[in-house]
Amino acid sequence: MGRGTGFVSAPTVRRRQLGRTLRNLREGAGLTQEEVARRTGGRIRGTKVSRIETAVNAATAADVSLILDALAIADDDLRTALLRLTREGARRGWWQSYRTVLSQPYEDLISLESEAEQISTWQPTVIPGLLQTGEYARQIISATAMSEAIEDAVSTLVDVRLARQTVLVGDSPLTLWAIIGESALRTETADPQTMREQLGRLLRLGEQPTITIQVMPASAPPHVGQMGGFSILGYGSHVDLSVIHVESLTSGLYVEDGDEVSVYRHAIEQLRATALSPAESATMIKEIRDSK
């Protein structure tokens, strides 16, 4: 996703996510914004609570801690998750050095990935970005470039895509569950070696304990995934912090409403049940690789 024309700066998904959660907690406690402010002893005004909830202002960890105290939130896991969300918002990420070529939605995606604990993704026609080889990524980015700006930045965007994959390694790698359509595995690249290497990478990554790969066979009956690909980014046990990412040709859509997130969660469970098992999937990937 490169930077398109008509770009308008907007609050990040993470800031909206934090504000929405604080608002839900306040409303669940039956308090107004002014009542929350009074409970902080005047250290935060009601107008500031409002600006934080609506993502107009970026909150500090001190602000969020005061609001959580005012709401009498005793759930340590929830407090930790929200304070981490706040602190990460002030952290300068490696991707910010690429701002001249990244769109705001793509920056948001990279930031959310860097903080996620789990990602479940359904990709019917393309290998998920976190699992791509450099050459496969180059061909996909080139083929889907719909502006001169992206065409001129392909090499840089490949570097960004590969850098994103650091979330899969290290001391605390995220848990990735990828369901991939069979047609994505059978893509005919300019050089057959590109797909052989890509499929080989899928086989290697699928052996990692934190990565699960399933294939949706072309012979599968009609299923919910035929409406398009999507990813669920999760942040621990608190599902209300989850975000859905739906990528389009020119941008990305984020679904944050709790009821809609639940729909996507149900959809991914259906897809897992319909797709081949991880072992069967590895067998198919190997057979397709060896046929190229």
Which CATH number goes with the domain that contains 199? 3.30.870.10
| In a domain? residue 271 | yes
What local confidence, expressed as pLDDT, does residue 9 receive?
34
Q: How many domains does the chain have?
A: 2
What local confidence, expressed as pLDDT, does residue 8 receive?
30
Q: What is the mean pLDDT of residues 105-113?
A: 86
Q: In this structure, are 83 and 185 located in the same domain?
A: no
- In which band, very low, low, confident or very high, does the pLDDT at 1 lie, cut at 50, 70 and 90? low
pLDDT tens sequence across 261-288: 999 999 999 999 999 999 999 999 999 9
- In which band, very low, low, confident or very high, does the pLDDT at 83 lie, cut at 50, 70 and 90? confident
For residue 89, pLDDT over 70 is answered with no
Q: In this structure, are 192 and 245 located in the same domain?
A: yes
- In which band, very low, low, confident or very high, does the pLDDT at 220 lie, cut at 50, 70 and 90? very high
What local confidence, expressed as pLDDT, does residue 90 receive?
57
Q: What is the pTM assigned to this prediction?
A: 0.81
Q: Kindly give, in sequence order, each residue whose CB lies less than 8 Å from that of residue 132, ignoring residues fewer than 6 positions away.
A: 140, 161, 162, 165, 198, 201
Q: What is the mean pLDDT of residues 107-128?
A: 92
For residue 96, pLDDT over 90 is answered with no
pLDDT, the chain, mean: 89
For residue 217, pLDDT over 60 is answered with yes
For residue 6, pLDDT over 70 is answered with no
| In a domain? residue 190 | yes
For residue 214, pLDDT over 90 is answered with yes
Out of 90, 117, 152, pick the residue that ends a domain: 90
Give the per-residue SS3 of the chain: CECCCCCCCCCCHHHHHHHHHHHHHHHHCCCCHHHHHHHCCCCCCHHHHHHHHCCCCCCCHHHHHHHHHHCCCCCHHHHHHHHHHHHHHHCCCHHHHHCCCECHHHHHHHHHHHHCCEEEEEECCCCCHHHCCHHHHHHHHHHHCCCHHHHCCHHHHHHHHHHHHHHHCCCCCCEEEEEEEHHHHCCCCCCHHHHHHHHHHHHHHCCCCCEEEEEECCCCCCCHHHHCCEEEEECCCCHHHCEEEEECCCCEEEECCHHHHHHHHHHHHHHHHHCCCHHHHHHHHHHHHHHC
Q: In this structure, are 52 and 180 located in the same domain?
A: no
| In a domain? residue 2 | no
**Domain range enclosing 228:** 100-131+167-291
pLDDT tens sequence across 135-184: 999 999 999 887 776 778 899 999 999 999 999 998 889 999 999 999 99
Q: What is the mean pLDDT of residues 244-256?
A: 83
Q: In this structure, are 114 and 233 located in the same domain?
A: yes
What local confidence, expressed as pLDDT, does residue 92 receive?
64
Q: In this structure, are 262 and 225 located in the same domain?
A: yes
Cα-flanking dihedrals φ and ψ of residue 23, to 5°? -65, -45
Q: In this structure, are 119 and 249 located in the same domain?
A: yes
Q: In this structure, are 107 and 64 located in the same domain?
A: no
Q: What is the mean pLDDT of residues 66-90?
A: 85
| In a domain? residue 64 | yes
Q: In this structure, are 73 and 107 located in the same domain?
A: no
CATH number for 46? 1.10.260.40
